[in-house]
Structures are given as C-alpha cells and as structure tokens.
A and B are shown apart, each in its own frame.
Chain A
C-alpha cells in the first residue's frame, strides 16, 4: 500500500520533489470541523507559510503534519511516505512551538541535545552537532544557561536550535515570532530567512501576520474556515487574490459589491450597489453576476483638479485623514455615499478633512472577485 502511494506521489509531481503532501485531509473534533478536504503540496526546500485568522485551522494543519493529531479522513505524506498513522516521535519533522516549550530543568545545551540523545547518538557526535546548532543561532556563549535566564528572543533561538539540530526533513514553525516584540520580530525574520537559506530544508510556518508571510515565504496558503482559499507566491496572493476574503485579509483593500453589466475579453463593466460604474480586470472566467470589486488603497490616485481619466474617476471629499509619516491615509466619501480608503505618498499637497477631491484608478489596478 505504502509502495503504491509513493509511486503515485512521484508521478503526481514529476518536476519538483514534494516534501509534504496533504490529500483531502479532514480533521474533526467532535462535531467541530477544524480542517475540511484540504489538499496541499509543499516542495522540497521551500519556505511555505500557512496564513489565516485565528481559528481558521492553520495550527491544526501543522499539528497534522507533526503527528500530534491524526486525520479523521485523508492522508498525510512526508517525502512520499504515507505517515497518516505514524506517531509524532517517528516522523522526520521537528517543530518550533509558539510557546517554545523549552525544558526548564535542562540547560540550553541539554535542551538542544535532547533529540540526539533520545536517538542514542554517540556523545562526541552529539557535542559537535550541538556546537554547530548553537553557532547557527548565534548562542554559543549561552550553552550553560537555563531557559529561565534567557530573554524571549534567546529562548526563541534555543527552540530553533533544538529543532534544527536533528536535521529534520521538514521544520514546522507554529507562529514562531508571535511572542516577540516588533523590533525583535523584524530581526528574527531576517535570521529565519538566513537559516532557511543555509540549511536548504523545507520550512512550513503558520502565522496570522500577513507581513511576515509575505516577506519570508516562497509560497503562501491562505486559510479560512478550515479550507484553503488560495495558494500562491506572495505577489500572486497580494496582486491577484482569487477571493474577496484573500484580498481583504492580505493588506488593506476596498471592496465594492456590485453586478456585472458587460463582459469584455479581459475586463468587465460593473455597476456597484451604490450606482458607481467601474471598469475592472477579471481573473476568473466564472459566470457569477454578483461580484465584488477590490481596489487597494495605494492604487487609488487622489487629485484636487479633475484628472484626464476616462474610467473609474469619481468625485468626493475627505472625511478622515491620518498622518503616517511616509504616507497619508485618507478616507474619501464619494458622492454616491461609498467610502474608500486611499493611501497617498506624503507630498506637499494641502489635503485636509472636507477637502473636495477626485479619486481615480486604472482598470488594471482593480479586480473583480467572487463574493465571500
């Protein structure tokens, strides 16, 4: 059985070797379905993020790969082998927990050596591997300390070292930077990216922080309600969201519900519920008549005089203005009653609340999506 599954996996992805594969995986806790019909393939050496709001099933997905949960239905494959029923301690993966879960009664060195000693590795080799891991996370001088004597960022490094010292096929990271403050987070993001590059092994990270996912990942899976909404590269997800949920969750966006009036080869004419006529790009060829138009705030242009734009140009006035240093964040109320978020570079324009403005954007900068 395992043999046939393996050959199937190879034929399914002939180009790049898949490291982790979930096939129609369902996980239910009682009547609560945390993960439903999930299909996912993570390639070898990839930095893959699972992104979603809390309660979307992303941590459960990671726990299914780690082996802390067994799927209610479907299969989990690691390096081609079906591990659905293999217990956590015999899977070639290691996890970095959000809470770190360090062993407080052991020194940093013993924490890191734990996995190697459990596998009965010789003491000389253990010493070398631990030293190498300590060097990778730049904690050489802290080997003899106890976790309680370390800062949050240092504990995070120990948790990383404790996982990577085992040379796992896949590193699983559950909100690894969630407990750190903003500045340390940025710094650790860089270090995570460096570690991934140096080790060349597959990283699967769960996060609710879209910025973190966008900046670190090769590919991102956006999850909602136990299902994957979209899988793609960061720019796929940001510039070509497939659903209104993805557009709204990744970055800020203006969502205008409406109906399609007329369809052209790659564009559609939409009349929004408030009566605006918008020309927008369409990604899917779905025949849905009720749609949502998504426009990112930074794609909207703001001007005091009437622009020379033929489409998507409306009059309104500024109802809120937030000064963000590099940018101005405005809320513009249109004549039709709709409000739009607009992000403008901070230029020497005299904008204030109640200033009458024109907003306009290119048809290429807005997308028609299926309603959530």
Chain B
C-alpha cells in the first residue's frame, strides 16, 4: 500500500487533537498511579478509585448534583418543549425577537446569569437552597432543550398536526399522539445535553447554593484549592467518562431520530 504524503492540514489536525486531549490522557494515567502525589508515578493501582467510592462527602455531593440535574432537566423538558411548540406553531407579533431571546441564556456569560440570579433572589428575600440552584439551572436547561426541540420541529412536516385534526383528533390528541412522538428524539437529546451541562456547572451553583446544598463541582473546587490529590484525578476520569457517555448517547438519539425520517 502506498503511503500517503503527510500534508500540512492533516498535521495541524493531529496537533490540535493532541493539544486538546493530551492533558486528559495524562490525567487518566495518573489516576491509576499508586502514589500519594497527583503528578508522580508510583506503579499501577486502583486505590484512588476505591477511596473515591468510600468517600461519604463526595457521594453526598454527587447525590446533590444528580438531584439538581434530574429535577431541573425534568421540569425544563416539559416547559422547553411547550416553548418550542408555541414558538414554532403560533403566529404572533415579535415572534423573531422571542425566538432569539429563547436561546440567549446560552450566550450570556454564566457569571452574568449567576450574579443576576443571586441579586434577584436577595431582592425578593428567597433563602438559598437546593431549590434555588434548581431554579437557576432551569434557566439554561430550558434554553438548551427549547433550541434542540425547535430545530427538530422545523424539520417536521408542517401539516402533521393538521393531518391529525383532519382525521378527527382534538388539539390535545394531535399533540400527544402525533407531535410528541415525532419530537421525542429531540426532547431526549436536549435533556441529555442539558443534564451534562447541569452536572458540570460550578459558577451558577456556587452563587445560588446556600449552606444546605453542596453539588459535586463545588466540592471538587473546594478540595483542589488545597492542592490536587490523586483521588481527584480518579474522580475527574469518572466525570469525563460519564459526560462523554451521555453526550454520545444524545448524539446517537438525535442521529437515530433523523434516520427514522429519511428514506432507506
């Protein structure tokens, strides 16, 4: 087989991937190191993974994170889908503006959302709690799900609901039996991605968490301030794998949903 000449673009591409992923590979390697220091090699061991799973504080933080993400995503899934349907299917003045505003939370810097939420909560004297973190996370989860569902609605046949109405279905039946099943892959993909974003969020959580809640990113951040221990290496690897798995699943669901619509 003749070897292909190395071209500049392919070299740059390879370098770019190395730049992005080399640190993560190094981290992954050190997470299996049997050493008390996070950046030295002391032979292969799973001790830090064992330490991780027996760390009560860490598991409690994980639980907080999961509760926040699941509740925020679940509520956002319903509201975001309704929002996308409303934006796509109804005529009203200023629709373009509303459509643009629906995904603004994805562009506004997190710090701005975090500060705004904190100031707002203080001004209406709502005490910070797990509930306030969930509410703050809903802001970006909602926007994310609405965007993904909107893009799917736009690729649907515009006459679908009318076809259902024409066949005798009420508006509610048309939505439940025809529109929602067709949107399901979009909704699911949006939820998975919003879930990853929520699990990942440090900034907004740290501004809106009271004493009662301590989600995982905040716990990690407070630990590394006193130096990175090898158990954080292991935790990071677990988080990366978890996120990658969910993101991959979301992509697969979207791909599967699109393929369903294409001719074979």
Contacts and interface: CB of A to CB of B under 8 A. Distances in A.
A132 to B, nearest CB: 17
A97 B263 CA distance: 19
Interface string A39-80: 000000000000000000000000000111000000000000
A93 B166 CA distance: 7
Given A101-B157, A103-B178, A95 B168 contact: no
A107 to B, nearest CB: 13
Contacts of B160: 101, 103
A195 interface: no
A104 B179 CA distance: 10
A118 B159 contact: no
Nearest to B156: A104
Contacts of B173: 118
A114 interface: yes
B224 interface: no
A181 to B, nearest CB: 15
Contacts of B165: 67-68, 87-89
B163 A101 contact: yes
Contacts of A115: 167-168
Contacts of A347: none
B264 A166 contact: no
A67 B159 CA distance: 13
A100 B177 CA distance: 17
Interface of B is mostly: helix
B71 interface: no
Contacts of A119: 168
B201 to A, nearest CB: 34
A279 to B, nearest CB: 51
A105 interface: yes
Interface in A96-135: 97-105, 114-115, 118-119
Nearest to A112: B167
Contact of A148 (B159, B168, B260): B260
A118 B165 CA distance: 10
26 contacts: A66-B162, A66-B166, A88-B162, A88-B165, A90-B168, A94-B166, A97-B157, A97-B159, A99-B158, A102-B157, A102-B163, A103-B160, A103-B164, A103-B178, A103-B181, A104-B182, A104-B261, A105-B182, A105-B260, A114-B169, A115-B168, A118-B168, A146-B260, A148-B261, A149-B264, A151-B263
Given A88-B165, A89-B168, A103-B181, 13 more contacts: A89-B169, A90-B168, A97-B157, A97-B162, A99-B159, A101-B157, A101-B160, A103-B163, A103-B164, A104-B182, A115-B167, A163-B166, A163-B167
Interface of B: 157-160, 162-170, 173, 177-178, 181-182, 260-264
Among all A-B residue pairs, the 7 with the closest Cβ atoms: A115-B167, A101-B159, A101-B163, A88-B165, A105-B181, A118-B168, A97-B159
